[in-house]
Amino acid sequence: MKKSKYIIKNNLSIKQAIKHMKSHGLKSLFIINEKSKLIGSISGGDIRGAILKKKKLSNSIKQIIQYSPKFIYDGSPKLINKKLKIYFKKYKIQNIPILNKDKTIKDIISWNELIKTKTKVLKKINKLSNYNFKVVIMAGGKGSRLKPFTDILPKPLIPIKKKTIIEYILNNFIKYGLKKFIITTNYKSEILKSYLIDKFSKNLFQFVKEKKPSGTVGSLKLIKSNSSLLVSNCDVFHKIKLNKFLDFHFKNKNDISLVVAKKRNVVPYGVCEINNTNHIISLKEKPTSKIFINTGLYIIGNKTINLIPKNKFYDFNDLISLAIEKKFKIGAFKIRDNEWYDIGRWDEYSKTKFNIN
């Protein structure tokens, strides 16, 4: 990486920093002082924040510098690589400077430079590229069950530890080499859009905005596609082998495939069986049953998408009922209950906070 384009001095104005970013197509810069020592960093988000606060662009960048940048001191290649992997994974940043002992910048390393091209994940990536599909994340809901958080933030930006739920979802897809995402939006759409572009890259996303709430699958009708759609709710995260789910769908030639999890259902009372003459013929104390539940990750074939009506509120349950009526082939990809996380309700959100990695 040519490090010089990422470095500017601390005597520039905000306007000059913006011009430098735009001319080099960058999202962040590292700031050095008059002795060429690293003192901080500036991101596109810092600049947008300054604009929103109505700071003058002629003001010094010293007003918006983040004075605790992440960096690594120079050392053995093995130790540097180990630290870089930890930092990239922990902080989800794009570039990390390598410093000499005097805090001058020796090099700047990007994540793309660090990763190796031949890994087990890349073998899975090649396999996924054999299939014709697009990835859709349904992010238009209000998240009423997560109030008061969602009075301020859209549901996909609810924090889990140090990341938002949509980051977990996207990162899981990205590791399989998926690089294009369609985000359906409605509620607080501009906040979500701005966050994703700042955190990732605008080249990753196509945003489709509903004019009015259209249910859990109604917005899919707004997407122009001749391929199958891999659809995820924005409040669930799956720890499954995505290539196996795709294999399951396409090899079985399903019209729809759902990821389902086995759940143990307990009735917390004694259950009575009563006959026609109102006599109790059996009593079962707290009976249990095992059921399969929909976990919010689907593959929907193009033929099935054609069933969704235009400009109508339409839920996934409606689509399944119609597909069954039409004798479409619907497959259930079974996973364990600990292979997915749900943050759509407060009780599940609290469990997820302690269990998700």
- Residue 121 CA to residue 119 CA, distance in Å, equals 5
- Tell me how crowded residue 63 is: count the other CB atoms within 10 A of its CB: 13
Q: In this structure, are strands 330-335 and 256-266 parallel, antiparallel, or unpaired?
A: parallel
Residue 355 confidence (pLDDT): 56
Residue written as tokens 């995820």?
232
**C-beta separation of 240 from 339 below 8 A:** yes
Q: Which of 127-136, 171-180, 257-266, 331-340 has the lowest average pLDDT?
A: 127-136
Residue 118 confidence (pLDDT): 38
Residue 201 confidence (pLDDT): 75
- Residue 226 CA to residue 133 CA, distance in Å, equals 9
Residue 147 confidence (pLDDT): 55
Residue 255 confidence (pLDDT): 94
pLDDT at 328 over 90: yes
CATH superfamily, with its number, for domain 3-114: CBS-domain (3.10.580.10)
pLDDT at 152 over 70: no
pLDDT in tens, 300-322: 998 898 898 887 888 899 999 99
Question: How far, CA to CA in Å, does 190 sit from each of 145, 182, 197?
Answer: 21, 15, 11
Residue 353 confidence (pLDDT): 53
Q: Which of 15-24, 100-109, 346-355 has the lowest average pLDDT?
A: 346-355
Q: Which of 9-23, 199-213, 341-355 has the lowest average pLDDT?
A: 341-355
How does DSSP classify residue 309?
A: P
318 closest CA partner among 194, 204, 217, 249: 217
CATH superfamily, with its number, for domain 120-355: Spore Coat Polysaccharide Biosynthesis Protein SpsA; Chain A (3.90.550.10)
Residue 20 confidence (pLDDT): 92
Q: What percent of the chain stands above pLDDT 70?
A: 87
Q: Which of 83-92, 168-177, 208-217 has the lowest average pLDDT?
A: 208-217
Residue 2 confidence (pLDDT): 65
Those residues with Cβ within 8 angstroms of residue 107's Cβ, 6 or more apart along the chain or in another chain: 1, 3, 97, 98
Residue 12 confidence (pLDDT): 94
More confident residue, 87 or 216: 87
pLDDT band for position 3 (cuts 50, 70, 90): confident
More confident residue, 191 or 122: 191
Q: Which of 29-33, 143-147, 218-222 has the lowest average pLDDT?
A: 143-147
Residue 122 confidence (pLDDT): 46
Average pLDDT, the chain: 83
Residue 132 confidence (pLDDT): 75
Residue 195 identity? Y
Residue 345 confidence (pLDDT): 62
More confident residue, 8 or 237: 8
Question: What residues does each domain of the chain span?
Answer: 3-114, 120-355
pLDDT at 144 over 80: no
